[in-house]
Amino acid sequence: MIGLISATAAGAAARDRLAAAWPDRTRVYDGPVADAVRRAFGECEQLVCFLATGAVVRLVAPLLAGKTTDPGVVCVDEAGRHAVALLGGHGGGANDLARAVGEVLGAEPVVTTATDAAGLPGLDTLGLPVEGDVAGVTRALLDGEPVALAAEVPWPLPPVPFAAQGAHTVRLTDRAVEAGEREVLLRPPSLVVGVGASRGAPVEEVLDLVEGALRDAGLSVRSVAELATVDAKAGEPGLVGAAERLGVPLVTYTAEELAAVEVPNPSDAPLAAVGTPSVAEAAALARGGELLVPKRKSERADGQPAMATCAVVRRPARGRLAVVGLGPGARDLLTPRARAELRRASVLVGLDQYVDQIRDLLRPGTRILESGLGAEEERARTAVAEARKGQAVALIGSGDAGVYAMASPALAEASDDIDVTGVPGVTAALAAAAVLGAPLGHDHVSISLSDLHTPWEVIERRVRAAAEADIVVTFYNPRSRGRDWQLPKALGILAEHRAPSTPVGVVRQASRPDESSRVTTLGDLDPAWVDMMTVVTVGNTATRTIAGRMVTPRGYRWQTGAEEAR
């Protein structure tokens, strides 16, 4: 919850705007300001104070306990011009909160955390438990001193300018070791603990078993990603409670799924009880990995039979591939999610001209793999191969990456051994439509006229179907120097079903500095106006030109009523 505190009418107005934007995330604290801050500080994860920074410093100073427990605090000035991340920039999330508040209120976020200012990810913001000399190693990174990465377990990290050797070290490990001098430990969630339990097994017995198994194997409990078991035990209180105490999910598999997993120590007891010869080992190995701790049983002080079993597996790191749509070209049409993925990726793969568009948004240390036109399949294979190495990869494309872009060849190459996320972008058809007016107000279809990968016979059949169905058509890749007859042919097919007066929009370089557009008709369109940087949108029989803009009504009744009113 985010506590909101104000002292003046101007502050209250901004406060209420934020509360209206985030009704489920915020709570307004009224009354004397000092009391409001004190209550919010103790009850909320974050605070936004519409007060001077000096006043907030004096109010929160007596309340501070430590950077790992204090809430993030953001100050917004009376005029609403700045949102200042005052306290808990990383741990309390104040830096991100300042940016989010700025978006809502139109304020400039002010972030002074050194790593953010330098474009480096903070070691405590990588999403992994961190131990050791975080301040000292971070200072070395900021000063440009060589910091070595010792990756005992491969894991997809955002770009950090690590060196091959250095006096400071970041060690990526799931082993139970102590951080050395000038060293930071990052704990990847690489361990899966399979657990089985008899009905009524106590939480303490399960926990003692799991923690003892990890301790004896020299493994860190902070690297446990999940507990896993058979679905028949999904509600077993001892397992549910142990997962809650460890702060990890309890993942379940069917008996049939576990029975199909090859294990070193099958048993008749679980087969008779739940239908699989193994629970602990099979659940731990269900998604592959290296068995570090074979099945072991709990020990009870009263000498009664064990009620719990466990096994520990190191699961291989899964690389991450983000397929990112950059939009049509304008920077303000690049989505916040796309920006976040670009900064998260340690490897960027893309067409050279698209890389140039966003190069300034990348973090220092990002490895860039760029190539020229015509290498789409090669880029897709490269991106997937890098992800399979355990890297965090962003594969970029213009518009929406899933529309005539890189998502299709990439996902054709990818299998279930990597994590894939798609980041939507504003497509060229949508950018052009916004310039033209509202040509896509009813059913519409996009068709590429490039026959480099699709036979013309197939393209022509699709154009004819759209023509017969009276659907608005947007043509991608309409014309190039080597392909100058396809557009006239497609327009001729549409002309068999639509009047010469049918509105047509032509937009070149939509959203870019040299954007140009015109609204013409099917009868007057000159194909010479069109090139590969152009999108052509042909209206249907209901599309009209109104005040120079293309408008396709949502329904024919609306159009009929409007014409009758005239």
Residues 57-99: pLDDT tens digits?
999 899 888 877 889 999 998 888 899 998 887 778 888 899 8
Confidence of residue 196 (pLDDT cuts 50, 70, 90): very high
pLDDT tens digits along 151-185: 888 888 877 778 888 889 999 999 999 998 999 99
pLDDT of residue 363: 84
* Mean pLDDT calculated for residue range 446-451: 93
Q: Inform me whether the pLDDT recorded for 556 exceeds 60.
A: no
Angle, alpha carbons 163-166-168 (nearest 5°)? 110
Q: Inform me whether the pLDDT recorded for 209 exceeds 70.
A: yes
User: Which of 152-156, 181-185, 317-321, 400-404 comes out lowest in average pLDDT?
Assistant: 152-156
pLDDT tens digits along 213-272: 999 999 999 999 999 999 999 999 999 999 999 999 999 999 999 999 999 988 888 787
Helix (H, G, I), strand (E, B) or coil at 396: strand
* Mean pLDDT calculated for residue range 497-505: 96
Residue 420, token pair as written in the block: 């894939």
pLDDT of residue 478: 93
pLDDT of residue 115: 64
Answer yes or no: pTM beyond 0.75. no
CA 96 – CA 103 distance, rounded (Å): 11
Q: Are 391 and 319 in contact (CB under 8 A)?
A: yes
Confidence of residue 137 (pLDDT cuts 50, 70, 90): confident
pLDDT of residue 527: 92
Q: Inform me whether the pLDDT recorded for 561 exceeds 60.
A: no
* Mean pLDDT calculated for residue range 458-462: 96
* Helices and strands (DSSP H and E) totals, the chain: 19, 28
Distances (CA, A) of 308 to 42, 208, 226, 236, 255: 39, 10, 16, 11, 17
Q: Inform me whether the pLDDT recorded for 329 exceeds 60.
A: yes
Tell me which DSSP letter residue 319 carries.
P
pLDDT tens digits along 509-550: 999 989 999 999 999 999 999 998 999 999 999 999 999 999
Q: Inform me whether the pLDDT recorded for 127 exceeds 80.
A: no
> Which element (helix H / strand E) includes 99?
helix 94-105
CA 30 – CA 7 distance, rounded (Å): 9
Cα dihedral across residues 256, 257, 261, 266: positive or negative: negative
pLDDT of residue 236: 92
Whole-number percent of the chain with pLDDT over 70: 97
User: Which of 23-27, 119-123, 387-391 comes out lowest in average pLDDT?
Assistant: 119-123
CA 145 – CA 274 distance, rounded (Å): 57
CA 107 – CA 288 distance, rounded (Å): 48
Confidence of residue 114 (pLDDT cuts 50, 70, 90): low
Q: Inform me whether the pLDDT recorded for 565 exceeds 50.
A: no
CA 183 – CA 83 distance, rounded (Å): 34
pLDDT of residue 550: 96
pLDDT tens digits along 27-61: 999 989 999 999 998 899 999 999 988 888 999 89
Q: Inform me whether the pLDDT recorded for 124 exceeds 80.
A: no
CB within 8 Å of 408: residues ≥ 6 apart: 402
pLDDT of residue 116: 65
Place of tokens 């007891």: 269
pLDDT of residue 393: 95
Q: Bin 50: left if φ > 0, else alpha if -120 < ψ < 50, else beta.
A: beta
